[in-house]
Amino acid sequence: MRTSLWTAAALIAAWLAWRSFAVPAAAIEPRSSAVSFTDRSGIPLGVVLSSGSESSLAVPLARVSPMFIRAILAAEDRRFFAHGPVDWLAAARATWQSIRCLCGAGGASTITMQLARERFDLPTGMGGKALQIWDAARIEAGASKDQILNAYVNRVAMGGNVYGVEAASRTYFGIPASDLDLAQAALLAGLPNDPSGLEPRTHWLNARARQRVVLNAMVSAGYITQNEAGIARRETLHVRKAGGELAAAQQLLFRLAPQAPSSPVHTTIDLPLQRFVQSQARDVVAALAGRNVTQAAALVIDNRSGEVLAYVGSTDYFNDAYLGKNDGVRTLRQPGSTLKPFLYEYALERRTIRPDTILADVPTSYAVPNGEAYSPEDYSSSFAGPVSVRIALANSLNVPAVRVLSAVGVPSFLARLRALGFSDLHRMPDYYGLGLTLGAGEVTLWDLAHAYVTLARGGSAIALRTVIDAREPATVQIGDRANWELVADMLADRYARAKSFGVGSVIDTPFPTVVKTGTSSDYRDTWTVGSTPEYTVAVWTGNFSGAPMRRIAGVTGAGPLWNRIMLHLYEHRDPPRFPAPPGGNLAKRAPPVVIASAAYDEWRARQGDTFGALRVLFPNEGAVFEDRLGASDPRRAQQQIEFRISRPRNSRAVWELNGSRIAAGEGGAYFWPVRTGDWVLTVRSRGAVTSVHFRVIRGAAHGPRGFVVAGR
């Protein structure tokens, strides 16, 4: 009796000791080391590794195809639910076969033993096998069979850096594990037998041969019929190429993966639209290849919610020749003229201009600190003279824009751009200068699109979103809605922009669209951004290498892709219209802006208009020139300043410098050899006299060659 009690106590103690070493189910729960993404409708977009070098996606057994469960049981452990940590019957059979053939036949490792080996990184060989048995017993002591099977199918090696059936299914076939058919399931179930030697992309024939072994095992286990196995053997399977598991928007998915709180991530992307934009980007770039255009980027945004419906960072993510992995949506590039609408809106808000202001598109020079005179010109290299604000903005005229910026002030406009979300314009105002409105800074397509969404929303700024969020997005009103509506109306006026773009260009659509183009210096970047009340489409084309294109402007570079996308969005309906801008209210907010007639003198002279008062067109009153050539420099004799005047036609002019006559005749210009000093230029013609004062000073020897207008 006492012996029986001691025996029972010993057994209980052994059982308790064994249980104390049990591995709890939580310790074997599979964890995803990758993030899966879907589009807004739940369609898979792809899988991205979030960290490390292993790609795995954990899903419950209920979301795994029953065909795969049967296939993996048939292939790896048919009696899994009938035995404990070790299948002694299978072990005895494997041992007997090894003795008979003297070939060291292996096998007999149960699913629990394989899980123990993977979970605890156990060694191979006899010692490793003993440890597998011990840890398998611990696992079975702390987890149910379903929990063990769930952990196994989500952890098992599937070739390369792919682990688990969900990651394998999406990687090789582009579908979730729940959708695997018999042929696909049998192929994947064969991979754990030799993950490196059966990887389908590199060892297709081996993987296919192993699939047949798995199908035969399923027939033997009674899971399928011989006829079903035959159909599966004949089924044609298409394995995706490396990288093919990322269906679209690759740059966006890689950006989102590190910050994804859970998987799957439901993005705002509309996959059919995304694929359309991607294919059209490739087509447009191919058509422009002869003019050295190799890349494009595009965004399509829902203005109402700020949701990004399409995100194309490059034409082909896997094209290394043209740096396809770069993200054109987030790359800093010069924006050309695309910032002008925000300047005009701000100038209207500040009452610097009003809707009926007449601006001077005439030759103009500005002295800039420590540099040459800044003389903006239009793309056409011509000047239009007096133009309305509407014409100036719609035709993207440079001189009027710089004139408005000069009146508004670079620091104030820079602050407005930052308020609109251009966070990369972080340098001091003097760095950008008056060229800020012509693209002197660098912005991203993302920030530019966000600003145009604000324009389309009447100044109501909303954050752009790439992940579905049920929360109502916050908005911030920037500026006055009436001014934004007026600027939108100007940009949508196809007749107002006809001088620069003609009627019927690619930025003209069958319905009203607010649209603006931009071209950076040396043709390195072209942009087209435009909106309806519902959508904003932003496009960039160029080269990630920074190489210039061959005289491609915004309307011919980015314009065609923008046009295709916008027409596709409204293939079956017309968009709503923008609200009409207010009538006379805006005109009453500021007194009339009078432009001095002197601003047009040189322009009139260039047009052949010689009527008007006698004026000195150049140099300007108070101009300061720096002579940066030494006295012994042989080029100094050819260094001259062109004096120019405006006077009645066929009238004789007398030129005097510091009271001494230097020339006389009917010409409207005189070239004067430069000399340092203080000078008074006087011109007399038909009884009229006009004078200007200017200086020529000795400049630094290390500065630019020749003389420059000094900033004073």
Among the ranges given (124-138, 143-157, 463-477), the one the predictor scored with the smallest mean pLDDT: 124-138
How much is the pLDDT for 579?
Answer: 87
Work out the average pLDDT over 241-259: 81
CATH fold of 22-36+47-234 reads: Penicillin binding protein transpeptidase fold (1.10.3810)
Mean pLDDT of all residues in 195-211 = 95
- Residue 592's pLDDT band, with cuts at 50, 70 and 90, is very low
- Per mean pLDDT, which range of 55-64, 293-302, 448-457 is the poorest? 55-64
Amino acid at 31: R
pLDDT band at residue 14 under the 50/70/90 scheme: low
pLDDT band at residue 346 using 50, 70 and 90 as cut-offs: very high
Per-residue confidence (pLDDT) for residue 220, from 0 to 100: 95
Of 53-62, 215-224, 417-426, the least confident:
53-62
The more confident residue out of 616 and 537 is: 537
Give the residue among 361, 352, 370, 369 at the shortest CA–CA distance from 412. 352
* Average pLDDT, integer, range 400-427: 96
Percent of the chain topping pLDDT 70: 83
Residue 88's pLDDT band, with cuts at 50, 70 and 90, is confident
Contact 554, 526 (CB under 8 A): yes
In the predicted structure, residue 385 carries a pLDDT above the cut 90: no
pLDDT band for position 604 (50/70/90)? low
Q: Is the pLDDT of residue 214 over 70?
A: yes
pLDDT band at 305 (very low <50, low <70, confident <90, very high): very high
Give pLDDT tens digits for 676-708: 899 999 999 888 899 999 988 877 554 444 444
Query: How many Å apart are CA 328 and CA 583, to the nearest integer?
Result: 40
Six-digit token string for 375: 């003389």
What integer pLDDT is reported at residue 363 of this predicted model? 79
Instruction: Please spell the DSSP secondary structure of 124-185, one letter per residue.
Output: -HHHHHHHHHHHHHHHHHHS-HHHHHHHHHHHSB-STTEESHHHHHHHHHSS-GGG--HHHH
Considering only residues 415 and 674, tell me which one the structure prediction assigns the higher pLDDT. 415
Least confident of 321-325, 336-340, 461-465: 321-325
Average pLDDT over residues 197-222: 95
Q: Look at residue 295 in the predicted model and tell me its pLDDT.
A: 96
- In CATH terms, the superfamily for domain 597-709 is Immunoglobulins (2.60.40.10)
Question: Which pLDDT score, from 0 to 100, does residue 312 have?
Answer: 98
The β-bridge relationship of strands 295-302 and 535-542 is antiparallel
38 pLDDT more than 80: yes
Of 265, 250, 260, the closest CA to residue 330 belongs to 250
pLDDT at position 228 over 90? yes
Among residues 547, 542, 574, 576, the alpha carbon closest in space to that of 561 is found at: 542
What value does the mean pLDDT take over residues 89-114?
66
| Planar angle of CA 471, 472, 473, nearest 5 degrees | 110
Please identify, in words, the CATH class of the domain defined by 340-583.
Answer: alpha beta
Whether the pLDDT of residue 371 is over 70: the answer is no
**Cα–Cα distance measured from residue 337 to residue 436, given in angstroms and rounded to the nearest whole number:** 9
What mean pLDDT comes out for the span 567-571? 97
Residue 584 has pLDDT above 70, yes or no: no
Return the H-helix or E-strand segment holding 29.
none
472/625: higher pLDDT: 472
Query: How far, rounded to the nearest angstrom, does the alpha carbon of residue 488 sit from its chain's CA centroid?
Result: 24
Mean pLDDT along residues 516-543: 95
Average pLDDT score, the chain: 85
Residue type, 426: H
Please compute the mean of the pLDDT values over residues 94-114 and round it to a whole number.
66
Read off the pLDDT of each residue in 110-129 and give the average, rounded to a whole number. 80
pLDDT tens, 504-524? 889 999 999 999 999 998 899
* Domain residue ranges of the chain, discontinuous segments joined by +: 22-36+47-234, 340-583, 597-709
pTM of the full predicted structure? 0.70
- Nearest one of 300, 324, 304 to 314, comparing CA atoms: 324
pLDDT at position 605? 60
Degrees, nearest 5: CA angle 427-433-435? 110
CA dist., res. 662 & res. 677, Å (int): 16
Q: Residues 345, 479: contact at Cβ < 8 Å?
A: yes
| pLDDT score for 623 | 80
Instruction: Label residue 5 by pLDDT band (50, 70, 90).
Output: low
Instruction: Give strand ranges (E) for 490-648.
Output: 514-519, 525-531, 535-542, 615-618, 623-627, 640-646
Which whole number is the average pLDDT over 60-89? 90
Please give the pLDDT value at position 708: 45
What integer is the mean pLDDT of 258-272? 88
The token pair at 598 is: 């002197």
692 vs 142: CA distance, rounded Å: 98
CA distances from 256 to 178, 248, 262, 567, 574 (A): 25, 13, 11, 29, 34
pLDDT at 91: 67
Burial zone of 476 (CB within 10 Å; 0-12 exposed, 13-18 middle, 19+ buried)? exposed
> What local confidence, expressed as pLDDT, does residue 240 receive?
84
Where does the pLDDT of residue 710 fall: very low under 50, low under 70, confident under 90, or very high at 90 and above? very low
Adjacent-strand bridge partners of 678: 695
The model's confidence at residue 342, banded by pLDDT at 50, 70 and 90, is very high
Q: With contact defined as beta carbons under 8 Å apart, do 151 and 28 qualify?
A: yes
pLDDT tens figures, 634-665 = 766 677 888 888 766 667 889 999 999 999 88
Predicted local confidence at residue 641, as pLDDT? 85
- How many Å apart are CA 76 and CA 113, to the nearest integer? 11
Cα separation, 659 vs 680, whole angstroms: 8
Residue 308 pLDDT: 98
Q: Which of 22-31, 306-315, 673-682 has the lowest mean pLDDT?
A: 22-31
Element (H, E) at 121: none
Q: In this predicted model, which residue has the larger pLDDT, 584 or 117?
A: 117
pLDDT classification of 140: cutoffs 50, 70, 90: confident
At 29, is the pLDDT very low, low, confident or very high (cuts 50, 70, 90)?
confident
pLDDT range class, residue 341, cuts 50, 70, 90: very high
